[in-house]
Amino acid sequence: MSLKRVLSLRTVVSTSAGLTFSTACFVAAAQVASYLAGDAAWLAILVAGVLTLLTAAVFSELNGMFPSAAGLRLYLSKAFGEKFSQVVSLLYMLVITLVVGTETYVLGHVLNYAIPAISPLIWVVVMLVVATAMNLRGVNIAGAFQDFFTYGLVASLVIFAVVAFGRTGIHLQAPLATNGLGGLFNAVAVGVFLFVGFEWVTPLAEEVTQGNVIPRGMFLAVGLLTVVYALFTMAMTATVPGALRQTLLASPTPHLVFGEAVLGRTGVWWMTLTSLAASVTTFNAGLITISRFMYASAREAVLPKWFSQVNVRFATPQNAIISLFFVGLAVSAAVFFSGRYLTLVLMGSAMESIIYAVGAWAVLTLRRRLPDQERPFRAAGGNLLPAAAVIVFGVLALGVMLQNLWVPVLLGLAALACYLYVLYAVPRLKALQAAERDAARQARAARRRPVSTEAAAAADAPTD
């Protein structure tokens, strides 16, 4: 059974943006500000957004060539071969799933700050259950849910920033002071985390109403995110009194410090509800896209066939969605009790930069290998743009890993696990799939084979 084409541009934009919106993004925004002097965080976010637009062009070209729920795995397979694509795409999916743990950790601190009597884990379970239920009912329902929360979240952040400037005035301290090229580099490298996962909307290629919806949606989402993040971060660092500035930059809940400084307890509750909305959009959008990627991978025997089962009534990959619920719950609990949330923020930033560099490299490779392949969208500037993306994001990934040596160690271990899985498990899955196809083909042939005259006469003969 195939997926349904029901998603419009509005939902593609909200899903692409919603994949990046999370409570952990407030921590990343504060980290960006901590690398820069004065209130120049907006500049680093703007640079990160422009670089991400270059990547949106790269993924738009790839998506136009191969519109499939397999997304990244298919692109890399066409460019570099099956094993490489399987290892990289599984590693990326694993890291994105782990980043959910960061989201849960930060959300737990938010809820403890606002409602100490209620365990944060209860809220985590409730949100995962709601998002899972919405996704099981169908992508059109999950899409409407995503539209409501994403656009509501955008409005909330913009309005609060305007309120903050209105109550305290705009007191920017050296808005262009970057603390040197090193400070700007580190800030941009972490700023990439603010856009992590926007391109995961490409697995929805089999469910959009028109072929050009996904490229347009990614460009609009990145532009919207850049403006909202820059405005909110500028308000957060410019309107908080100097005595609280260092507390804000070092806190796992900087937006709550910001909210309390602007509107007192009302601000705390405003930011708490904003955190809940951000977490819901992340969980929901993650379930929508990663479940489609798992469905496509299972369909191609990269994951067990069980994950490719589609609910007949709602046309959703139900087993993939249900499994993501339990994986998300386990990872969230592990990060919550270990407290290593900043390491995962940096892992997400590094992995995103690696994927952007590899995606741009794939565009260059496919232009050489498949020059006559139809390209509904082609990144402008010839080979200059993707070549620049390879270099820039490769350097950014290296810079992030040098900030925390646990990042390359953990990424290396995860890559090794994915490689061993691809080396030993995937061939067995493909052999099993081939055997099932052969058995089904033989069964169909047996049903079509004519019955011999002697056999027919024997079957019609009377028996004692």
Does this model's pTM top 0.85? no
Alpha-carbon span 151 to 148, nearest angstrom: 6
pLDDT in tens, 438-454: 887 888 788 776 655 55
Domains within the chain, CATH numbers bracketed: 9-446 (1.20.1740.10)
Q: Over 80: is that where the pLDDT of 246 sits?
A: no
- pLDDT tens sequence across 109-125: 677 777 777 777 777 77
Average the pLDDT over 259-281 and give the result. 83
At residue 412 the predicted structure's pLDDT band, cuts being 50, 70 and 90, is very high
pLDDT at 159 over 80: yes
